[in-house]
Amino acid sequence: MRADASTTPEQACPIAPVVDLVFSRWTTPILWTLNEFGRQRFVELERRIGSITPKVLTQRLRQLERDGLLTRTYHAEVPPRVEYEISELGRSLAPLFATLADWSAENLPKVDEARSAYDSAP
């Protein structure tokens, strides 16, 4: 299909909505962490991810819950406890993450080499 002025971004690149959904700044680390370590409380996620702020983590978790990629379980205890877990829909991304991890290990050194060569060129 040839793109023209009336072509939507989704028509021009059918994976664009998936990239927007899954590969935003904090979405990938959250999903990766839940996939790798299982059910997590907010503070556990915050600790494992590192430099994310509580406000941004809250926003991303709400969006991922809305998108159906994770589930939130509220336990009515004192103090209240909330746990997050990757959903079946989110877990269906695991093969994609594994492929990307393999690609990363194999190719990121090549990307670094290409960048160095480019940056040192006259």
| Structural domains of the chain, ranges and CATH numbers in brackets | 9-91 (1.10.10.10)
Rounded to 10°, the helix 54-66/42-49 angle is 110
- Sign of the CA dihedral running 45, 51, 55, 57: negative
Q: Does the global pTM surpass 0.85?
A: no
CA distance 40 to 26: 16
Q: Please say if the pLDDT value at position 53 is more than 90.
A: yes
Q: Please say if the pLDDT value at position 3 is more than 60.
A: no
Using alpha carbons, select from 23, 47, 29 the residue that is nearest to residue 86.
29
Q: Please say if the pLDDT value at position 87 is more than 90.
A: yes
What's the number of CA atoms in the CB half-sphere (13 Å) around residue 21? 16
- Sign of the CA dihedral running 53, 55, 60, 62: positive
Q: Please say if the pLDDT value at position 6 is more than 70.
A: no
